[in-house]
Amino acid sequence: MVNRTDYLDKIEIDNKDNLSDSTVLIRAFDDMSNGFVNNSLVNGSTILFRNASEMIKTNTKYSYGTHGTPTTNDLCAAISMLERSNETIITCSGLMALTISFLCILKPGDHALAVDFVYYPLKRFCKLFLTRFNIHVDFFDPRNEYSLKTLFRTNTKLVHLESPCSNTFEIIDIYAICKYIKQRSNKCIISMDNSWATPLIYKPITQGVDISICALTKYPAGCSDVIIGSISTTKELSLTFNNVRGLIGTTSNGYNCLLILKSLKTTTIRLYYHHNSVIKINTYLNLSCHVDYVFSPLQLRSPDHQLWKRDYKLSNGLISFILKKNSLENCKKFLNNLKIFGLGWSWGGYKSLAAIADIKHRHFKTNNGPIIRLQIGFEDINDLINDLESSFQHLN
Ligand SMILES: *Cc1c(COP(=O)(O)O)cnc(C)c1O
């Protein structure tokens, strides 16, 4: 497939290794054969061969749509360049990127560990699907470093990390945890869900992670109009993942890939805007007499603030909080009175959204009762704050 080096090969500039990602992303795909700025769209299943001998060759560049098209390969190259991975494969959703990674690494009898505050559908997959194959997954507490250390077994083949964690945004010291795991076992593979940060902000593979996964559906898509995921791996794992990709037949269509390629060029500037809006919403929520606690690594008093500053420096548009008079009834009332925030799952788009986050599945509880999660989009910040304020007033 295509990796970062192939990507940089497209640029005829000296010292291109020093170019920043945003420059490479914009410069590398200039198509000077026809002069258009954007990537071209190839949608296709069948590829025509000139003759029968060409047809039965196994090393042709293109053989069938599932094995890659110019457009899907362009996206794989872009993500590999950003992740600093050897290779990237595209999946039909972010969830499928997670589940395929587990299926790729684990065999019957194996043990795996995942962070307890993980994206919930993955936990469901572990409990309802992997158990059929005698694969057992334990969940460790991200707030207690001994939790992973005591749960680690001699047959632990995979440790799955997600940082910041879903809904409450606890940050894991990825570098330190990877170092510990690799010392403890040279057979254990480390995967990480990098959807919160996107590979534009954080590059897990440079910190010791073997498999970096991104729900491109979120900030890379940016417009809530595509479902798609990516798995990026180190050189050692490329062949394994490529084989499984062929066996399972995962891909996405050219149009979806093109939408991501287009939106990737503006992801960083969108994240800056989200970041600045979240700072204002954080200040507002902390001053509100209706709010008990705010979850965001941006705030100075967050136990994750130092790690966030070291590893991320930028926030996305997510922030969660607990109501002072917390109950499911009050959360529902608060959501029902919002006029500008939409009620909807997912995040990463231009629209501000509110949801009641489900944390009932967690073994290690951070708090009792429901949490309200906000995705701060691109509406005017004062209109958003007024919307929250008038909804809080209905709680009295
Ligand atoms: C949304 C999400 C996913 C799944 O992405 P889809 O494309 O919606 O399947 C995976 N991980 C995290 C952390 C997510 O928030």
Domain CATH for 291: 3.90.1150.10
pLDDT of residue 31 exceeding 70:
no
pLDDT tier, 33 (very low <50, low <70, confident <90, very high otherwise)? low
pLDDT of residue 356: 97
pLDDT of residue 248 exceeding 60:
yes
- Closest Cα to atom 4 of ligand 1: 94
Please report, in angstroms and rounded to a whole number, the separation of the first and last CA atoms in the chain. 59
Is residue 137 situated within a structural domain? no
- Report CA-CA distances (Å) from 286 to 173, 279, 329, 357: 26, 11, 22, 19
Is residue 53 situated within a structural domain? no
The total of structural domains in the chain comes to 1
Instruction: Kindly give the residue spans of alpha helices, DSSP state H, lying in 158-234.
Output: 174-184, 198-201
Cβ of residue 99 lying under 6 Å from some atom of ligand 1: no
Kindly report the length of the chain.
396
Is residue 244 situated within a structural domain? no
The ligand 1 atom at the shortest distance from the C-alpha of residue 229 is 7
pLDDT of residue 4: 62
CA atoms of 207 and 112, how far apart (whole Å)? 20
pLDDT of residue 365: 80
Cβ of residue 161 lying under 6 Å from some atom of ligand 1: no
Cβ of residue 238 lying under 6 Å from some atom of ligand 1: no
Give distance in angstroms: CA of 154 to centre of ligand 1: 30
- Report CA-CA distances (Å) from 358 to 39, 94, 244: 39, 19, 32
Domain limits for position 324: 266-392
pLDDT tens digits for range 76-99: 999 999 999 999 999 999 999 999
Residue 248 in 3-state DSSP?
A: helix
Cβ of residue 166 lying under 6 Å from some atom of ligand 1: yes
Tokens 């509110």 correspond to what residue?
Answer: 354
Is residue 363 situated within a structural domain? yes
pLDDT of residue 17: 76
Give CA 86 to chain center in angstroms: 18
C-beta separation of 151 from 184 below 8 A: no
- Closest Cα to atom 5 of ligand 1: 94
Cβ of residue 229 lying under 6 Å from some atom of ligand 1: yes
Is residue 173 situated within a structural domain? no
pLDDT tens digits for range 158-215: 999 999 999 999 999 999 999 999 999 999 999 999 999 999 999 999 999 999 999 9
C-beta separation of 163 from 140 below 8 A: no
Cβ of residue 95 lying under 6 Å from some atom of ligand 1: yes
CA atoms of 73 and 51, how far apart (whole Å)? 24
Cβ of residue 220 lying under 6 Å from some atom of ligand 1: no
pLDDT tens digits for range 335-368: 999 999 999 999 999 999 999 997 888 999 877 7
Q: Report the mean per-residue pLDDT for the chain.
A: 94
Is residue 299 situated within a structural domain? yes
C-beta separation of 133 from 287 below 8 A: no
> Phi first, then psi: what are they for 80, rounded to 5°?
-60, -40
Give distance in angstroms: CA of 135 to centre of ligand 1: 23
pLDDT tier, 111 (very low <50, low <70, confident <90, very high otherwise)? very high
pLDDT tier, 25 (very low <50, low <70, confident <90, very high otherwise)? confident
pLDDT tier, 26 (very low <50, low <70, confident <90, very high otherwise)? confident
Percentage, residues of the chain above pLDDT 70: 96
The ligand 1 atom at the shortest distance from the C-alpha of residue 215 is 5
Cβ of residue 94 lying under 6 Å from some atom of ligand 1: yes
pLDDT tier, 12 (very low <50, low <70, confident <90, very high otherwise)? confident
Give distance in angstroms: CA of 94 to centre of ligand 1: 5
Is residue 99 situated within a structural domain? no
The ligand 1 atom at the shortest distance from the C-alpha of residue 98 is 10
What does the CA dihedral 138, 141, 145, 147 come to, rounded to 10 degrees? Answer: -40
pLDDT tier, 126 (very low <50, low <70, confident <90, very high otherwise)? very high
Cβ of residue 156 lying under 6 Å from some atom of ligand 1: no
Is residue 349 situated within a structural domain? yes
pLDDT of residue 7: 64
Residue 233 in 3-state DSSP?
A: strand
- What pTM did the predictor assign? 0.96
Give distance in angstroms: CA of 387 to centre of ligand 1: 27
Residue-wise DSSP of 319-388 = EEEEETT--HHHHHHHHHT-SSSEE-S---SSS-EEEEE--TT-SS-SSSS-EEEEE--SS-HHHHHHHH
pLDDT tens digits for range 273-300: 999 999 999 999 999 999 999 999 999 9
Instruction: Kindly give the residue spans of alpha helices, DSSP state H, lying in the chain.
Output: 4-9, 21-27, 52-56, 70-83, 94-105, 120-128, 145-151, 174-184, 198-201, 235-248, 254-287, 305-311, 328-336, 381-393
pLDDT of residue 378 exceeding 60:
yes
pLDDT tier, 6 (very low <50, low <70, confident <90, very high otherwise)? low
